[in-house]
Structure 1
Amino acid sequence: MSERKIPKVVVMGVSGCGKSLTGTMLAQELGVPFYDADHYHSRANVEKMAAGIPLTDEDRLGWLDDLAELIRREESGLVLACSALKRAYRERLQGRNPDTRFVYLRGDFETIWARHSRRTDHYFNGRAMLESQFQLLEEPGPDENAVAVDVSGTPEQVISHCLAGLGYDRSF
């Protein structure tokens, strides 16, 4: 049996697509720690988003660098939930971590907005902000070491697709 590489996975997509739930479940399956990139935003970024103001690329630079360092530092592997909406953001996260894999949670606006509107106690605020994320979103290309997973299934189905796409066998 060949030795499997230590998994370093970024679960990505727009707000409300299921990154935290999927990331938590995936980390448990892979036996690695889970981190949520939302917890690494600066106070200024959180206040801006809570006010309904989308973040700029400049707002995200320090945050992305901190996350890239977290990925590099976790030698035993990890799963990180992070929007990583643009190719440049994913490149920044992967720059010092070339073996990092991406799981892109794909869904249409109405499905994700329906989920979003049921959320409570989250600083991400409003339909306009979700629309801005969809406008910013650059879906991962075939050269980006990414797996695209449709979010319309049950959490267990989504996890099964994630694991299969990452090369792990599992069935429910």
Structure 2
Amino acid sequence: MGKKIVVLGVSGSGKSLIGKRLADALGYPFFDGDDYHNSSNIEKMSKGIPLSDQDRFGWLSTLNALLKNHECAVVACSGLKPEYRDMLKKDLDDVSMLYLKGDFDTIWQRHQKRNGHYFKGQDMLKSQFATLIEPSQSEAFSLDISQDADSVFQQALAYIKQ
């Protein structure tokens, strides 16, 4: 039986980068949660309007279905609250969660270097930090993103392979 891995963190924490590298290293399919938002959510975010719980519920259900439909998979998803993470894991018992932990300033600097992403503005990032309830140690393995991406990836891979 394969593993299902969810890489968590606020926008700009490196979920897609680390998730894709993990998927490639493990031979698993990778799914970027951003690709599964509906057009209404994308339109809101591109205007700098934070998503509500209601906006996120259908999206989280879609990501849960992706996990259910694949024996092995890596999914990148913000998973900001315990109830969101519960929705991702609903009816699954083989999900490992990795949390990419970083401070606002580090992540905002990364955001300013991004091109072509619909997630716009400092207020949107502040909204994610305001919504964020960091996962407990029992819920997710936490990785400090102040180190370089290779170190984060190596620690994530070592955790998954244990």
Report the counterpart of residue 146 of structure 2 in structure 1. 152
Aligned to 2:102: 107
Match of 2:134 among 127, 139, 161: 139
Corresponding position of 2:113: 118
TM-score by length of 2: 0.97
Q: Does 1:14 align with 2:10?
A: yes
2:44 counterpart residue number: 48
Identity of paired residues, percent?
49
Per mean C-alpha deviation after superposition, the further-off stretch among 92-101 and 34-43 is: 92-101
C-alpha distance in 1 between matches for 2:99 and 2:28? 19
CA distance in 2, matches of 1:9, 1:165: 11
Moved more, 116-125 or 95-104: 95-104
Where does residue 24 of structure 1 map in the other structure?
20
* Counterpart in the other structure of 1:57: 53
Deviation (angstroms), 1:31 = 1.1
Q: Could you tell me which amino acid in structure 1 is paired with residue 98 of structure 2? A: V
Equivalent position SS for 2:2: coil
Secondary structure of 2:48's match?
coil
Conserved? CA contact 1:34–1:78, under 8 Å: yes
Deviation at 1:164, TM superposition (A): 2.1
Q: 1: CA distance between counterparts of 2:16 and 2:113?
A: 15
1:7 deviation in Å? 1.6
1:10·1:80 contact (CA, 8 Å) conserved in 2?
Answer: yes
- Who is 2:62 aligned against? 66
Deviation at 1:148, TM superposition (A): 0.4
TM-score, length-normalised on structure 1?
Answer: 0.91
**What do you get for the CA RMSD once the two structures are aligned?**
1.0
Shift of 1:6: 1.0
Instruction: Mark the runs of 5 or more structure 2 residues left unpaired by the alignment.
Output: none
